[in-house]
Amino acid sequence: MKAKVTVTLKHGVLDPQGKAIGTALQTLGFEGVGEVRQGKLIELDLEETDPAKAKVAVEAMCQRLLANMVIENYAIELV
């Protein structure tokens, strides 16, 4: 089973990388782009075949390592 974890900064946390991307897009002539926020995608290959158990395991991974719970949110997708 595969898991995809998307980690993003919580709303209200400054995102200098997103700001730099937004500025670069404007410089390249892309108009109509509002606020830009960036994040990261983590793909995991899991041996677990039970979706419920896999989700519990990935939740623990997120809370202990993959996401900084103070400033980041995460979303899990099992595929």
Q: What is the CATH number of the domain that holds 20?
A: 3.30.1280.10
Residue 16, strand partner residues: none
Q: What pLDDT, in 10s, does the model give residues 4-63?
A: 999 999 999 999 999 999 999 999 999 999 999 999 999 999 999 999 999 999 999 999
- If one counts the domains in the chain, the total is 1
Return the H-helix or E-strand segment holding 54: helix 51-61
The pLDDT value given to residue 78: 98
In 3D space, the residue among 47, 35, 43, 45 whose CA is nearest the CA of residue 7 turns out to be 43
Full domain range(s) for residue 31 = 2-78
CB-CB contact of 78 with 54 (8 Å): yes
pTM of the shown model: 0.89
